[in-house]
Structure 1
Amino acid sequence: MAGRTSGGTHHVVVVALENVLALDIGIPWQVFGSWRDSPYTLTVCAQRPGPVPMHGGPALSVAHGLDALASADTVIVPGYLEPDAPGAEVTTALAGAAARGTRMASICTGAFALAAAGLLDGRRATTHWLYAQALARQYPRVTVVPDDLYIDEGQVLTSGGVSSGLDLCLHLIRRDHGPRLANEQARLLVAAPYRTGGQAPFMDLPVRPTPSDSPALYEWALRNLHQPLTVDQLARQAGVSRRTLIRRFHTDTGLPPMRWLLDARLARARELLESGDLTVEAVARHCGLGTPANFRTLFKAHVGVPPRTYRETFNSAAVKGC
């Protein structure tokens, strides 16, 4: 596991891949490299020294190549635009660092680089929720958990999208030096020292696309979400048997009818919480989600936070009653 350099500090090396995301690379820079009497030293490296294109900012001038990984106690790969395997030279260097016992971490889409190096095989990992399906598809040996802020698998850690990289970096400090130092750094950064929940509140919960050959049934269902709809009602509305309806839903949406309805109800609830001032009772009623207690339970189970917390996060005009 990660050790210490001869000077007693912990050496963090950040790997800037082409089109590195400006905010992602700024997080470890700020957390580990900007405070007085830090127990960490920080180096930024790239595949080779020189200017590195950066998404969201000017080109980054990098003085070190991949040989900087040889002295790293922790390697962090920030996210990069349109992630793909970064090439054999980079993946070999990452795999070599891991083989030496270096602690490996990624922020956002940096997980794709760790996965390409084989470092996530057989492990749980996360990435930006928008890229979670792509990561799972490209690297089937990785167990992708899309809604976690970060995942600590011991030597290898991954974080979700962008700001969850801050949660990961504070977690590393907490792991190395305990909660007191992590909390002090969090206060300096005006950040929560520990966030509960995950990426789920920020993830899209879209209703699956309706098919071109039979949109009327789905449009009718969306207009009647306030009603206690059943599979039999949907079948009657479509003029088909119950079995045919279930088969049609699986073909059209990949979901059973009642799961499609639940997703539609939750998506409507999120819209109302984000943009309106309805009480939780009214939102539950408009969306057909039962009693306020039932609504809170379902919403938290599927979105990750209670309705009130969601509203406070995404609607500045939060009201009483949630």
Structure 2
Amino acid sequence: MPPVQTKPPRSQAMSLPLTILVYDGLSMLEFGAAVDIFRGHASPDAPWYQVTIASVDGPTVTTQAGVLLTSQAGREALLGSHTIVIPGWRQLADTPDAQLLQLLRQAHAQGSRLVSFCSGAFLLGHSGLLDGRAATTHWKYARLFGELFPKVNLQLGDLYVINDGLCSSAGSAACLDLSLQLIRQDFGAERANQSARRLVVPGVRDGGQQQYIELPMPRERCQLGPVQQYALQHLANELSVDDLAAHAHMSRRSFDRHFKASFGLSPKQWLLQARLAHAKHLLSTSKLSIEQIAASCGFRSGQALRDQFVVSVGVSPLRFRQQQLH
């Protein structure tokens, strides 16, 4: 019996119309990434994206860097696109004009996939499309995003989130991970891996892997700075919150209150993040074993480090180290 011939998916049989939205105040980093990946990685003998640069602010926009950029189309080009890419956004707390928000809602209702890079999630948030859904953005915008859009399930730790045709990525580098995942969905793993090699990045970083969030620092100068430095210098020790309170010459209750007010985290949460941050540094820059790194960071064992790493970072220490080598 001859093999059954299956019809290739639509996404593999033809090119897909993709619109990159531009605006006054455009972020060149996110815009450049979108253009390079979705237009620059095209192959003349294989389906890819048909890219249109569409402006919401007239035929010429001025980027954050003061560069003038001429678009190919206006905002009406958003309708009919397979994918709409939003490379960041401006004046995050200000409500965008109603027509633009309606166009985004209409496009999504008609089946368009909406993709936000970094702060572009704010435009989707203002549209109301993210209400009741999961999304992510850069960790430094988390507080403002949560205040503006309390109905959105903000997945701060994730590199990217794909949810019902609404896709969002975290920091600027995470837009590469999201883009590669979309290429994988649209044109298969081989094309995604080709793009990854061209970008010199890992072919796959799971969306559930957490952002590399910086260790929280005091919101302003405070009396706990010496305690923080003491903790960072003694991470290998079995430090407890009681130890830190004693070093600060405070009662435990007073120390907890002052620490939370200064750092935005409880002392226990901050200490765990400090240990994990040091572990990430050693995984990225040394050849120490997992057991040695665990001891250097104050974890009871290599297994304790592995367990906490998977919970907090989303991947194992070994997987994290491998990704740093690509």
Distance apart, 1:219 and its partner CA = 4.6
- CA distance, structure 2, for counterparts of residue 296 and residue 135 of structure 1: 31
Q: Is contact 1:152-1:158 (8 Å) kept?
A: yes
2:36 — aligned with what?
30
> Between Structure 1 and Structure 2, how many residues are aligned?
313
1:18 — aligned with what?
24
Distance apart, 1:135 and its partner CA = 1.9
Greater shift after overlay, 155-164 or 136-145?
Answer: 155-164
Q: Is contact 1:124-1:153 (8 Å) kept?
A: yes
- CA distance, structure 1, for counterparts of residue 198 and residue 287 of structure 2: 35
2:4 — aligned with what?
none
Relative to structure 1, the CA distance from residue 90 to residue 230 in structure 2 (aligned partners, 3 Å threshold; closer, same or farther) is same
| TM-score using structure 2 length | 0.78
Question: What do residues 207-236 of structure 1 show as CA deviations (whole Å, max 9, x unaligned)?
Answer: 555873455554544444333133444454
Distance apart, 1:46 and its partner CA = 0.6
1:71 — aligned with what?
80
Question: What do residues 150-176 of structure 1 show as CA deviations (whole Å, max 9, x unaligned)?
Answer: 211122111222233233233233333
Question: What do residues 271-296 of structure 1 show as CA deviations (whole Å, max 9, x unaligned)?
Answer: 55566676655544443223333234
Relative to structure 1, the CA distance from residue 280 to residue 182 in structure 2 (aligned partners, 3 Å threshold; closer, same or farther) is closer
- CA distance, structure 1, for counterparts of residue 279 and residue 33 of structure 2: 33
Greater shift after overlay, 105-114 or 179-188?
Answer: 179-188
Q: Which runs of 5+ in 2 are unaligned?
A: 1-8
Distance apart, 1:64 and its partner CA = 0.9
- CA distance, structure 1, for counterparts of residue 210 and residue 131 of structure 2: 24
Greater shift after overlay, 218-227 or 148-157?
Answer: 218-227
- CA distance, structure 2, for counterparts of residue 67 and residue 204 of structure 1: 40
Relative to structure 1, the CA distance from residue 307 to residue 206 in structure 2 (aligned partners, 3 Å threshold; closer, same or farther) is farther
- CA distance, structure 2, for counterparts of residue 143 and residue 72 of structure 1: 26
Greater shift after overlay, 120-129 or 98-107?
Answer: 98-107
Q: Is contact 2:116-2:168 (8 Å) kept?
A: yes
- CA distance, structure 2, for counterparts of residue 184 and residue 212 of structure 1: 50
Q: Could you tell me which amino acid in structure 2 is paired with residue 293 of structure 1?
A: Q
- CA distance, structure 1, for counterparts of residue 323 and residue 297 of structure 2: 20
Q: 2:222 aligns with which of 200, 209, 212?
A: 212
Q: Quick one: percent identity of the two aligned structures?
A: 35
Q: Is contact 2:19-2:78 (8 Å) kept?
A: yes
CA RMSD of aligned residues (A): 3.6
- CA distance, structure 1, for counterparts of residue 245 and residue 60 of structure 2: 61
Q: Could you tell me which amino acid in structure 2 is paired with residue 19 of structure 1?
A: G
Question: What do residues 85-128 of structure 1 show as CA deviations (whole Å, max 9, x unaligned)?
Answer: 44333222222222333222212211111111111111101122
2:159 — aligned with what?
149
- CA distance, structure 1, for counterparts of residue 301 and residue 110 of structure 2: 56
Instruction: Establish whether residue 265 from structure 1 lines up as the match of residue 271 from structure 2.
Output: no
Relative to structure 1, the CA distance from residue 258 to residue 28 in structure 2 (aligned partners, 3 Å threshold; closer, same or farther) is closer
Q: Is contact 1:108-1:162 (8 Å) kept?
A: yes
Q: 1:170 aligns with which of 177, 180, 189?
A: 180
Q: Could you tell me which amino acid in structure 2 is paired with residue 26 of structure 1?
A: G
